Structure 1
């Protein structure tokens, strides 16, 4: 008889899988550079034969099997391979022990084993429930179960047996109130199949029943509904819970951070993004401060446009005094965020916007000028909102009027070229402000008439343009999971499975709106008027690695466009089906949708279609759509670490870097890159050190083959023009926007920043965040004597696109040096020297982040800006934050300045 079952370390009995033995032996052979398929087949055959002889019809333990593998490798004379396998077993044992320590568990289950140590550290640090003493009392399995259960509760309430979208029923709401007042008594009293609802699940379920009953949509009473639940009449939805649990625990998608933390828990807030209005009166300003406090207390982030506030020095009638201006009130909101602290480890996240026509625009642009050793407006990302009239003034060389928002009168006129240079200089020096292109945001805005005007604000990271008191909940799909291999080992992207998962994630987010506990009634009301969702992506860099496609190539941009087109198309497909059963979003009839409009630029370029958009639009016109907006690309710092994949739509920031753990230091290696090194027999500790010392890049290393250098590129290996092309390629098919960092080397010039803004605008991006390497450092020092970083050059495709833009808009040559961008600067060329408001930029901008000792009194000011607050507070380590997707994120613990990620 043959062995059919194996006992795992946790006592589970699982089917015997010969392929797992083969993979383990193959890895050991690769470790020592042995590539012999015939020998591999012989060894695996001998191992299986020996197992069957020793355990005829019995169930061996996994350790017994591994002992046999060692023995058979030595019998075959593969002593080095056997040694590598023994070391592999030892390493796996150490990993298991480290996982147990992280999770505070004696034994690991199969879910724990799916996640890397890195992922479990992030889960333990921020997501798993702890008791009052700080001890972890929740496992990853329990976390993902509570998230999955909550996400399926709306399915019960929209079941055709209890819901009628055209109904006008009356139900006894006093009984509903009874259950809401006594929800704590119903913990684990009801189930969906094998999944028990905790008291917070129950409260959200009854609350949704109440909301639908108040609209006359509930066909049965609350007591009858609960009786149906008790009788198991909704047990078929157990499969939906299991599917969402499977997708999350297999790292196929992850909800945004608030949903992972708050699902099935007291706060209950699942959204990350909010926009708060602020009007030109003290009552509104203090209401905005209150609203920010309430949102950030629950873990959210806020966007505010300060442009309605009168300028500094303007008349104040109530006091006969002078106004202090928008920037002063930004400091007020910043102080509120500082007090909230969001649990002590996450700073409050805000986006502060001032439109470029405001008289205080220069002061706003310089608001973070003193961010060297002094933490100014540390809870704010700031962005200048630009409209089409500014670009026209810049093009025509005309004076640009600055207008008092209180009176509508022109206060003074400025030179748009000087203002543009001032804006670019501060972004070059301090990575703030960013820019938001409001004319592009509103070009395809189908909600303009329904909401009475254009969108004029975004969430903190900029990927969600929102109206006042709107919110959005987000989730990201791991693209790397859809790269499969055919029988010849050739990679391909599984578009059908991808389409399926997009629709599942869209449904997850749509359901989340109904069980969300919003921080303010105004947000609850306005969110449900449009029912925005944000299906996003992560793992783009890893997917491209697996497919063997360079990020910065024409083929790479083509893939980005297609993968985003699918994302939006199939998110809409779900939304149309949901509208048929549950109804369109309330403002649908007043929007551009019934007229066949879409908030998607790619839709208006038929030559780029891969999918039948005309059929989809006809479906929308006939049935409506459940969600006004459906796709975005948020930062995914922490959630991508949980998913063990690359962050958002960004290229990877380093292929190899050194990390410290309790058992010492080790090199973190991108898993796709690691696999390829081993497949080619290139893996060695010496090579890892070389790559780590080379800023995590393989460029310039002779040990790495040229084809690998083209594919395995890092953020700083890619020219800023290619970064913009990537963002524009993705933006083409999104309903909302994309959060991405335009990485520039330390020696980039102010001219580069100006050029980046211009090209991003003409390529259709909705906003830009530029980050020059080292611009957030506390101190700077010369790079002389240090290893020079690889100098990225624009791809041939990027050059072609640049020239097309210049041909169409020749006037931009008056502002930037196109030849320098195409061909690079001379090594001896000096940076531009000019004076801005008395501050003179140096002639040579060769700076990198300082490593000198920082005075103790300054450290706390720098936490959350330059260094990770969690790593410092828990372990006393100063870990530099990395800048990705316009957001600072810790590469060690996953802490992120952005609420979403």
Structure 2
């Protein structure tokens, strides 16, 4: 008889899967450079025959099957392959043991096994529930069940048996208030199929019923609804919970960090991004400080535009004194953030914006120009808000007026070129400030007539422009999961499956708005006026590796554009269907959507369409759209670590790097790269060391074939011009913005930064963060001087062509952008570094000065506070997706990730 079942290590009986045996043997063969499909087929057949012979229809244990594989490999004389298989088996046993220690469990379940050791470490450090003694009391399976269960609750309330889009139903809400006041008594009483509602699920469900009932949209009373739930009339929604659960545990998508932490828990806040208003009076300033404290206490990050505050030295009418100015109040907010250590390890994250016309703009640009290690404004990313009039002044060489926001009068005029120099210099020296292009952000802003004003602020990482008191829920889809292989082993991208998942994730985020416990009533109100969601991407670098496409190539940019076009098109496709069933966002009729406008630049370039946008717009005009904005690309830090994939839309930082652990050192290798090395018979410890010593790059290594060097590029192998093109390619089809770092080498010049800003604006980016390697505080001193010189990145041929086209079409850019110098790598080289009148040399401390300072003074600037506070390990941060991020634990200044 044929064996049909197998017993797993945890005692479960599962179907026998021949493909798992084939893959294990193939991997062992690749390990020793054997690539012979006929031999592989024969060995697999021998193994299956021997299993059937020995067990004759009985159920073997998985260990027995592995013993048979070893034996058959040796019987066929494949002793090196058998050795590789035995070593792999031993390694798997060690991994299982390590996972048990991390999770503090005797037995691992199937979900535990799906995640890498690194992913489980991240989950246990920040996401799984702990008891008062600090011990983990939740498994990854339980985490994803509570997240998925909460996300499906709105489906019950919008069921056509209980919900009316048109409204007109009156319900007595006294019993609803009873349930809300006594929600703790109903823990585990109700369920959606096999998924039990905990007390926080129940409270959010009753709260949503109340909200819909107050609008007259509930056809049944609360007791009738609960009776239906108790009698299993919503059992079909078990499939919805199961679907969300499977998408997460299979690492296909992940919600933003607050949703993973807070779903089905007391805080209940699922959003990551907020904007808080601040007006020019003390009551508003203190209200903003209060709002920031509440939002950050619950795990969110805040953006604030300080431009309405009167400048330093201006008149204060009530006291006839002098105003202290916007920068001083930034320090106030920074101090508030500093005392709110979220969960004891996460610092508050803020975006501070000052618009370029403000009289204090020069002081703002230099706000972070302090001695290394002083922690000044460490809880802030700062950005200068630029408008079209500034670009016009720069273009025409005219003086630019600075305006007092209190009086609306001109205070003085400045040379825009000098200000632009200062801005570029500080970004070159300190990686702050960044720039936000408000003219581009508002160019396609379909909400402007509904809101009566332009957008003037973003979240901490800049990818989510928001109105005052708006918030946004974000989630990222793992692109690498959609790379499949045909019968001949050739990779392809499954666009149909990708489209289906996009719609499911859009629904997840739309549902999250309804069960979100917002930190302030103002945020609840304004968020639900627009119902903004942010479907995003991660795993881009890994997907391109699998497809054999270089990140910095025309083919790479074409893929990015298509992936983002699908992202937005199918997020809208869900949103239109939801509008039919649940109604459009409340401000829809006042927006530009009914006129057929969309907030995406790509829509206005029909020659690049891959999808039927005209048909979609017709539907939007007829039925409305549920969500005012639908896509963004956030940083994914620890979220991508949980998904075991590359971060956000960034290239990877290193293909190989050395990691130190308590038992010694080992090399971390990008999994896709590792598989390719083994497939080609190139994998050796000696080669890994060579790559690690080459800054984690394969560029210039003769052992690595040219085609692999072309495809497997790291962030620093890619020229900053190609980084810009990647961001612009993705921005073209997003409703909101993208968080990305424009990496530059340490020897990049201020001229490079200036050119990057001008080209980013010309390419249609909504903002840009430039990072020169080594400018993040003390990072420069950690680079080993003995290592070989890094192979310099060069612009791709495609990037050169685009650069020339831009400068030819905007001839004034020639005053600032030296095309040939950028191409040949001499841009600004040999010129004296721009020096400011008030620059006192504080940016270049000596090595001994830094050694004298305590490590704690550097936390939040250059080193990871989580790794330091949990074991005293000093781990350098790196710039990724526009934010300082820890490569070990995924901690980021951006709370989203």
TM-score if structure 1 supplies the norm length?
Answer: 0.98
Counterparts of 2:579 and 2:779, CA distance in 1:
55
Query: What does residue 887 of structure 1 align with?
Result: 883
2:859 to 850, 860, 863: 863
Is 1:874 matched with 2:875? Answer: no
Counterparts of 2:438 and 2:35, CA distance in 1:
57
**Contact 2:421–2:834 (Cα < 8 Å) also in 1:** no
Q: Which moved more, 1:630-639 or 1:365-374?
A: 365-374
**Contact 2:474–2:534 (Cα < 8 Å) also in 1:** yes
Alignment CA distance shift 1:608-1:371 (3 Å): farther
Alignment CA distance shift 1:796-1:31 (3 Å): same
- 1:431-474 deviation digits (Å, cap 9, x = unpaired): 00000000000000000011011000000000000000000000
- 1:582-608 deviation digits (Å, cap 9, x = unpaired): 000000000000000100100001111
Offset of 1:855 from its aligned partner? 4.7
Query: What does residue 108 of structure 2 align with?
Result: 108
Counterparts of 1:115 and 1:783, CA distance in 2:
33
**Contact 2:779–2:876 (Cα < 8 Å) also in 1:** no
Counterparts of 2:559 and 2:215, CA distance in 1:
44
Question: 1:426-575 residue pairs with structure 2 within 5 A?
Answer: 426-575=426-575
Query: What does residue 807 of structure 1 align with?
Result: 808
Aligned-pair Cα RMSD in Å: 1.6
Alignment CA distance shift 1:779-1:568 (3 Å): closer
**Contact 1:257–1:639 (Cα < 8 Å) also in 2:** yes
Offset of 1:206 from its aligned partner? 0.1
Query: What does residue 229 of structure 2 align with?
Result: 229
Q: Which moved more, 1:659-668 or 1:889-898?
A: 659-668
**SS in structure 1 opposite 2:516?**
coil
- 1:374-415 deviation digits (Å, cap 9, x = unpaired): 111000000000000000000000000000000011101000
Query: What does residue 207 of structure 1 align with?
Result: 207
Query: What does residue 787 of structure 1 align with?
Result: 788
**SS in structure 1 opposite 2:376?**
coil
Query: What does residue 39 of structure 1 align with?
Result: 39
**SS in structure 1 opposite 2:870?**
helix
Offset of 1:837 from its aligned partner? 2.1
- 1:208-236 deviation digits (Å, cap 9, x = unpaired): 00000000000000000000000000000
**Contact 1:374–1:858 (Cα < 8 Å) also in 2:** no
Query: What does residue 89 of structure 1 align with?
Result: 89
Query: What does residue 302 of structure 2 align with?
Result: 302
Structure 1 residue ranges without an equivalent (≥5) = none
**SS in structure 2 opposite 1:770?**
strand
- 1:825-849 deviation digits (Å, cap 9, x = unpaired): 29x943533321242789xx9x9x9
Aligned pairs, number: 896
Counterparts of 2:242 and 2:640, CA distance in 1:
22
Query: What does residue 796 of structure 1 align with?
Result: 797
**Contact 2:750–2:833 (Cα < 8 Å) also in 1:** no
**Contact 2:773–2:780 (Cα < 8 Å) also in 1:** no
Counterparts of 1:374 and 1:513, CA distance in 2:
39
Counterparts of 1:837 and 1:899, CA distance in 2:
36
Query: What does residue 746 of structure 2 align with?
Result: 746
Alignment CA distance shift 1:779-1:107 (3 Å): closer
**Contact 2:373–2:853 (Cα < 8 Å) also in 1:** no
Structure 2 residue ranges without an equivalent (≥5) = none
Offset of 1:737 from its aligned partner? 0.3
**SS in structure 2 opposite 1:383?**
strand
Question: 1:85-484 residue pairs with structure 2 within 5 A?
Answer: 85-484=85-484
**SS in structure 1 opposite 2:289?**
helix
Is 1:825 matched with 2:826? Answer: yes
Alignment CA distance shift 1:130-1:853 (3 Å): farther
Counterparts of 1:509 and 1:491, CA distance in 2:
30
**SS in structure 2 opposite 1:793?**
coil
**SS in structure 1 opposite 2:442?**
helix
Query: What does residue 80 of structure 2 align with?
Result: 80
Counterparts of 2:12 and 2:582, CA distance in 1:
42
Q: Which moved more, 1:285-294 or 1:339-348?
A: 339-348
Is 1:7 matched with 2:7? Answer: yes
Counterparts of 1:128 and 1:838, CA distance in 2:
49
Counterparts of 2:57 and 2:862, CA distance in 1:
60
- 1:755-812 deviation digits (Å, cap 9, x = unpaired): 0000000000000000100101327559865421110000010011111111111111
Question: 1:587-736 residue pairs with structure 2 within 5 A?
Answer: 587-736=587-736
Counterparts of 2:779 and 2:61, CA distance in 1:
57
**Contact 1:277–1:469 (Cα < 8 Å) also in 2:** yes
Counterparts of 1:13 and 1:524, CA distance in 2:
48
Alignment CA distance shift 1:260-1:697 (3 Å): same
Counterparts of 1:359 and 1:228, CA distance in 2:
62
Counterparts of 2:760 and 2:538, CA distance in 1:
22
**Contact 1:779–1:850 (Cα < 8 Å) also in 2:** no
**SS in structure 2 opposite 1:401?**
strand
Counterparts of 1:371 and 1:95, CA distance in 2:
44
TM-score if structure 2 supplies the norm length?
Answer: 0.98
Offset of 1:728 from its aligned partner? 0.3
**Contact 2:694–2:787 (Cα < 8 Å) also in 1:** no
Alignment CA distance shift 1:416-1:783 (3 Å): farther
Counterparts of 1:366 and 1:384, CA distance in 2:
11
**SS in structure 2 opposite 1:888?**
strand
Counterparts of 2:772 and 2:848, CA distance in 1:
20
**SS in structure 2 opposite 1:839?**
coil
Offset of 1:865 from its aligned partner? 2.1
Offset of 1:416 from its aligned partner? 0.4
**Contact 2:99–2:117 (Cα < 8 Å) also in 1:** yes
Counterparts of 1:559 and 1:338, CA distance in 2:
41
Alignment CA distance shift 1:888-1:834 (3 Å): closer
Offset of 1:850 from its aligned partner? 9.7
**SS in structure 1 opposite 2:698?**
coil
- 1:699-735 deviation digits (Å, cap 9, x = unpaired): 0111100000000000000000000000000000000
**Contact 1:778–1:850 (Cα < 8 Å) also in 2:** no
Offset of 1:864 from its aligned partner? 2.5
**Contact 2:354–2:364 (Cα < 8 Å) also in 1:** yes
Offset of 1:69 from its aligned partner? 1.1
Which stretches of structure 1, 4 residues or more, deviate above 6 A after TM superposition? 849-853
Counterparts of 1:433 and 1:160, CA distance in 2:
51
- 1:511-538 deviation digits (Å, cap 9, x = unpaired): 0000000000000000000000000000
Counterparts of 2:525 and 2:689, CA distance in 1:
55
Counterparts of 1:783 and 1:511, CA distance in 2:
49
Counterparts of 2:529 and 2:254, CA distance in 1:
25
Counterparts of 1:778 and 1:485, CA distance in 2:
45
**Contact 1:372–1:779 (Cα < 8 Å) also in 2:** no
- 1:352-395 deviation digits (Å, cap 9, x = unpaired): 00000000000000000115121110000000000000000000
**Contact 1:296–1:340 (Cα < 8 Å) also in 2:** yes
**SS in structure 1 opposite 2:341?**
helix
**Contact 1:871–1:878 (Cα < 8 Å) also in 2:** yes
Q: Which moved more, 1:181-190 or 1:73-82?
A: 73-82
